[in-house]
Structures are given as structure tokens and as C-alpha cells.
């Protein structure tokens, strides 16, 4: 047991130690300072030339958002069409079929928005062509979109008024060529040398110890798994995701994948501090986020190690904790650590089955996604944190009787309205979607859907409600993990969660970028002794309180009906 705790301590410690220099490197990349990947400059110029992009052109926040949304719309159409006809295209040695329109709609959106909510089973639902040409491609561009969106808000932190906030295309290309591509290649190499497939061969026939002959899928898995974690995407090449022995062969690869999926979210915090020369501010953000993660992680580990009380009442000893749905290679500690980190950073990959987690663990996973502001995905974690910052500044200003200011700029009604709308829409999407699903399930159990609502749930009680709540929470948070007891590959879930995926991704990007653009244009007033400090522990506690209060008021009733009710039913 001690070695398991040591394992997660080493994983987290290594992540932070690597994230600090990576943050400095990322800051240098976006500040146009010399760096080790300057040799990629000709490739970047070629991309700009082919795309008709003037890399020297500065754009307003509105123009940047139009560019971001337009290019994402093109990728959506491209992915949707390819998935519809994948069964008729080459690089399909296993003969996997094309997707239905509703599944293609959901899957294209899901990978576009960095969620990778998979309503299909990895190796049997996609071909080698779409694994590479759609999923791998979207994993790169979706992560780069999030990073570029974060860099667009940096100008609002600087001590000068500006009309432009940079060039989305330049930030986007640099994020791929100098950050995502090198890091994902490094992880892919580690995986290949530990047994993860990296070929275009079809299924291999293997004779089991029982004498049965089974087909084992192979293919270009290592490349996808590399960017899956580096880009906080999470979509599994295999249906079992990182619980699959070929996707995550051993404890070493488990550590590598765990470090990989957390390193950029933490590094972006430090990069922000270097970019705006406010290291104390970055440390405040890091401290608030880390406290939030620990408050979710500790109850999860305790719950998983204590085992299932219902099994204990049967007289069954559980010396290793709650092992249902866990890989014996990793155990409950490494699985619990993964489950919380993967939900707070919006990766959504799994090395155990979250549907089998103890109720307290499930609630912590849900809360990690509901807050959306503890580390978060590539870039978007700080974007989510940003609108909480604006709300905290506004409330703090009211409490001390001063005009709310953030880094020398007044925070006024327009900024607060945008931040509040983003927070409220997130709640509406999760609870409104869950309410709609529950209403359909109760009132139309035999409706003529692709899969009848009566077949959605194998657990129609408290846990069934949690499964539906988790699906919408995961979709809204661009996470992609799921309580997989839910039958979600049907007309209703594919289309409804597809809409939630789009709104849950782009509203939290549009809102903060708009706020930052509005603030960047305002007159800068130098800080004085009367300025409310936003880089100390006191303000950090204020931000943390705002995050927890808003999350509790928004989601506690739903959590009471699901995981909390299930927890007390086991007592």
C-alpha cells in the first residue's frame, strides 16, 4: 500500500517539476523569444502561405473569434462526411462499417471540441483512416485551439490599452508545431517501446490459455494515444481506453500517460505568469486549483481503499479496497488518482471503469467536471477560471466599497453579465439535459427511438440518475469519460449531447475572450495603495469561495438525487 501512495506522489511531483520549465518554454514561444524549436519556422511559414495568412497582422478580439469559429466549422463538416463514408474508404483491414448520421454527428462534434465522448467502441467503430485523418487530426487542432484562445486574453493583463489582441492563427500554429507535436511524439515513443501497437496491420489471431482463438486489434495506436493525453483529449484508440493492456501496458506507461495529461494544464499556469511577468498571480491560481484538486482527490482515495460496504456486510474481506472495475496492474490508489485528475483537467481518459467507482468517488468526479476550473484542459482550464476571477473581483470590490478593478482596468456591468451568463448556461446545459432525459425515460419508455428509453439504463435507481447526470456533465465539460452502464449510442443521446458539446465548448471560450477584449481596450490605471490586490492568498481564498459557492448552488440538488442518495443507501 505504501508503494501505491509513493507512486501517485512521484507522479504528481514529477508533473510539477517538469511543468515549471515547460511553462517557461511556452511563454518564450508565444513571446517570440528564441527557443529550441525555431527550426520549425519554415514549416510554419509554409502553413501561413498555404492558408493565406498574414502572420504580422494583429486582429481585434471579434476578428479572432470569427477566425476560431469559422475554421472549427470547416473541420466539423470534414469530420462528419468522412465518418459517414469510412466503411467505403481505404485503410480498413478489419472491415469496420460507416457510422450512422446521428453517431457521426455526435462523434465529429465530440472530437472537434476536445471532448472525445465516444458513443462507439474504439477499435471496432472507426477505421485506420478515420483514427488518423479525423481523430488524430482533431486532437491536435482542438488542443491548439484552446491554447490559442488562452493566449488571446493575455493582452488584457498587460499595463497598456490596446485595440488588438494578437493573431489566433499564429498562436494556433505555434501551439501545434512547437508544443503539441514534440511532446506527443515523445510519449508515443515511450508507448511503442513498451508494447503499444504502431502499424497498419489488421487483427492478429491469438490462442488464449483456454484454447479459444480471438482476434486482437492492432493499428496506429501509439500515435493517437500520445496526442490523446498531451492534448487532454482522452479518446481511446481501444474501447476500454487506458484500461486496455495495449493502450496502457504497464505501470511505467500508466505514470507516463498520467504525467502527460496533466503537464500542459499546469504548465500553462506558469506560462501565464512568465508572459505577464506576474509570478505571484500565477502561484495564486496554481494554489487555488491545487487545493480544489486535493479536496476532490482525498475523499476519492479514502472511499476506494475502504471498499464497498455492501460487500463487507456479506462477510467478504476487501484487503485491496474496492476492486470492481479496476485493473489489478494499477489498483484502487492509482485508479482513484487517475479518475480525479482526468476529470478536473477534462481529459476524460480512464484506466478503470468510473461506473464502478464508489458513490463518493463518482460525486468527486462529477464535481471536478462541474467546477471546470481546477487545472482544466489545454488553455481552457484558465479560461474557465478567468470568469470566476472576474466575478470574484466584482464581489470583492462591492465588499470593500471600491470600484472593481482587475489589473488596472475597471470591471463593469458588461463584463459581469458575460461571466454570469457563461456560468448559468453551463448549469442549464447539465441539469436541463438530465431533466429532459429523465422525463423522456419516465414518460416515453417504449418510444420508437433507435434504442428505446427503457433500454437506456440497467440501473434505473439512484445510480441510473447518476449515469444520466454524468453523461451531460461530461459533455458540457468537454471531458468525454462516462458511466458506461448508460446505453448512449442512439438517436436521443447522440443528438442531444452533440448540442451540449458545442455549447459547452465554445461559450466558455467566447465569453472569456470577449471579456478580455473589452478590458484590453479600457484605459489602464496604474495600481496604487488603494488597488485591490489580486495576487495574494486572501484574494485566492475569495476566488476559491466563489468557485465552490457557485458550484454548490448550481449542482448540489442534482448530486443529492444521484451519488449522495446512492451513498446513504449503501450504509
> What DSSP string describes 324-384?
TTB-TTTHHHHHHHHHHHHHHTT----SB-GGGS-HHHHHHHHHHHHH--SS-STTHHHHH
Q: Which of 358, 297, 377 is nearest to 8 (CA)?
A: 297
3-state class of 213 per DSSP? strand
The per-residue pLDDT for 350 is 92
- Give the C-alpha separation, 347 to 261, whole Å: 7
Q: What local confidence, expressed as pLDDT, does residue 530 receive?
A: 66
Sorted by sequence, the CB contacts under 8 Å of residue 189 that are 6+ apart come out as 222
Q: What pLDDT does 1 receive?
A: 55
CA distance 149 to 71: 13
Q: What is the DSSP string of 77-118?
A: HHHHHHHHSGGGSSS-TT-PPPPPHHHHHHHHHHHHTT----
- What's the gap between Cα 341 and its chain centre? 10
Query: What is the maximum alpha-carbon separation in the chain?
Result: 78
Exposed, middle or buried, 290 (CB in 10 Å: 0-12/13-18/19+)? middle
DSSP 3-state helix, strand, coil percentages of the chain (rounded to 5)? Answer: 65, 5, 30
> Quick check: 494 and 358 in contact, CB under 8 A?
no
pLDDT score for 128: 93
> Which residues are within 8 A (CB) of 378 and not within 5 positions of it... i.e. 6 or more apart?
114, 143, 144, 146, 147, 231, 232, 264, 265, 268
Contact 411, 453 (CB under 8 A): no
Q: Report the 10 Å Cβ neighbour count for 161.
A: 14
pLDDT in 10s for each residue of the chain, 571 residues: 557 788 889 999 999 999 999 999 999 999 989 989 999 999 999 999 998 999 888 899 899 999 999 999 999 999 999 999 999 999 998 889 999 999 999 999 999 999 999 999 888 889 999 999 999 999 999 999 999 999 988 888 887 777 778 899 999 999 999 999 999 999 999 999 999 999 888 887 777 777 777 778 888 999 999 999 999 998 889 988 999 999 999 999 999 999 999 999 999 999 999 999 999 999 999 999 999 999 999 999 999 998 888 888 888 888 888 888 898 888 899 999 999 999 999 898 999 999 999 999 999 999 999 998 899 888 888 888 988 988 888 888 877 777 788 888 888 888 889 988 988 899 999 999 999 998 888 887 776 566 677 778 888 789 999 999 999 999 999 999 989 888 888 889 999 999 999 999 999 999 989 988 888 888 887 776 667 778 888 889 999 999 999 888 899 999 999 999 999 888 6
Query: How much is the pLDDT for 450?
Result: 62
Residue of 552, 496, 402, 379 lying closest to 105 (CA atoms)? 496
**Interatomic CA distance for residues 375 and 285, integer angstroms:** 9
Which letter does DSSP use for residue 176 in this model?
Answer: I
Q: Is the dihedral of CA 475, 480, 485, 491 positive or negative?
A: positive
Amino acid at each position: 500500500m505504501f508503494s501505491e501512495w509513493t507512486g501517485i506522489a512521484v507522479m504528481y511531483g514529477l508533473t510539477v517539476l517538469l511543468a515549471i520549465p515547460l511553462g517557461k518554454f511556452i511563454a518564450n514561444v508565444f513571446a517570440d523569444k528564441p527557443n529550441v524549436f525555431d527550426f520549425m519556422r519554415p514549416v510554419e511559414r509554409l502553413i501561413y502561405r498555404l492558408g493565406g495568412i498574414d502572420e504580422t497582422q494583429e486582429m481585434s478580439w471579434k476578428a479572432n473569434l470569427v477566425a476560431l469559429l469559422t475554421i472549427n466549422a470547416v473541420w466539423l463538416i470534414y469530420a462528419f462526411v468522412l465518418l459517414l463514408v469510412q466503411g467505403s474508404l481505404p485503410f480498413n483491414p478489419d472491415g469496420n462499417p460507416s457510422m450512422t448520421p446521428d453517431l457521426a454527428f455526435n462523434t465529429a462534434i465530440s472530437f472537434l471540441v476536445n471532448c472525445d465522448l465516444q458513443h462507439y467502441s474504439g477499435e471496432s467503430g472507426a477505421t485506420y483512416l478515420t483514427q488518423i485523418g479525423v481523430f488524430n487530426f482533431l486532437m491536435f487542432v482542438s488542443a491548439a485551439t484552446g491554447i490559442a484562445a488562452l493566449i488571446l486574453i493575455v493582452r488584457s493583463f498587460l499595463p497598456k490599452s490596446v485595440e488588438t489582441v494578437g493573431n489566433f492563427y499564429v498562436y494556433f500554429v505555434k501551439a501545434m508545431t512547437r508544443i503539441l507535436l514534440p511532446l506527443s511524439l515523445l510519449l508515443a515513443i515511450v508507448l511503442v517501446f513498451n508494447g503499444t501497437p504502431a502499424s497498419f496491420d489488421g487483427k492478429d489471431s491469438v490462442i488464449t490459455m483456454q484454447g479459444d482463438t480471438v482476434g486482437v486489434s492492432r493499428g496506429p495506436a501509439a500515435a493517437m494515444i500520445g496526442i490523446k493525453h498531451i492534448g487532454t483529449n482522452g479518446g481511446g484508440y481501444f474501447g476500454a481506453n487506458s484500461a486496455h493492456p495495449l493502450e496502457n501496458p504497464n505501470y511505467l506507461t500508466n505514470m507516463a500517460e498520467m504525467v502527460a495529461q496533466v503537464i500542459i494544464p499546469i504548465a500553462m499556469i506558469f506560462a501565464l505568469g512568465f508572459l505577464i511577468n506576474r509570478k505571484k498571480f500565477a502561484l495564486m491560481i496554481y494554489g487555488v486549483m491545487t487545493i480544489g484538486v486535493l479536496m476532490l482527490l482525498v475523499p476519492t482515495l479514502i472511499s476506494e481503499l475502504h471498499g464497498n460496504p455492501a460487500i463487507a456486510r456479506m462477510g467478504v474481506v476487501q484487503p485491496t479496497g474496492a476492486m470492481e472495475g479496476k485493473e489489478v496492474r494499477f489498483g484502487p490508489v492509482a485508479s482513484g488518482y487517475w479518475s480525479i485528475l482526468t476529470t478536473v483537467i477534462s481529459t476524460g481518459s480512464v484506466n478503470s471503469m468510473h461506473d464502478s467507482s464508489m458513490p463518493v468517488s463518482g460525486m468527486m468526479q462529477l464535481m471536478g467536471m462541474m467546477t471546470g476550473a481546477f487545472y482544466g484542459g489545454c488553455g481552457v482550464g484558465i479560461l474557465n477560471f478567468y470568469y470566476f476571477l472576474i466575478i470574484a473581483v466584482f464581489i470583492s470590490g462591492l465588499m470593500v466599497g471600491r470600484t472593481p478593478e482587475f489589473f488596472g482596468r475597471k470591471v463593469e456591468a458588461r463584463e459581469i453579465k458575460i461571466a454570469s451568463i457563461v456560468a448559468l448556461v453551463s448549469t442549464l446545459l447539465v441539469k436541463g439535459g438530465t431533466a429532459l432525459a429523465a422525463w423522456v425515460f419516465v414518460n416515453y419508455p417504449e418510444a420508437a427511438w433507435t434504442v428505446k428509453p427503457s433500454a437506456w439504463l440497467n440501473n434505473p435507481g439512484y445510480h441510473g440518475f447518476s449515469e444520466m447526470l454524468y453523461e451531460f456533465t461530461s459533455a458540457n465539460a468537454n471531458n468525454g469519460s462516462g458511466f458506461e452502464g448508460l446505453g448512449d449510442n442512439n438517436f436521443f443521446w447522440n443528438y442531444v449531447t452533440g448540442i451540449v458539446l458545442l455549447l459547452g465548448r465554445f461559450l466558455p471560450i467566447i465569453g472569456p475572450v470577449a471579456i478580455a477584449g473589452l478590458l484590453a481596450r479600457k484605459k489602464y490605471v496604474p495600481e496604487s495603495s488603494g488597488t485591490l490586490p489580486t495576487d495574494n492568498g486572501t484574494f485566492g481564498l475569495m476566488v476559491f469561495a466563489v468557485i465552490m459557492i457557485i458550484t454548490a448552488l448550481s449542482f448540489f440538488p442534482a448530486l443529492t438525487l444521484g451519488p449522495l442518495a446512492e451513498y446513504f443507501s449503501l450504509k
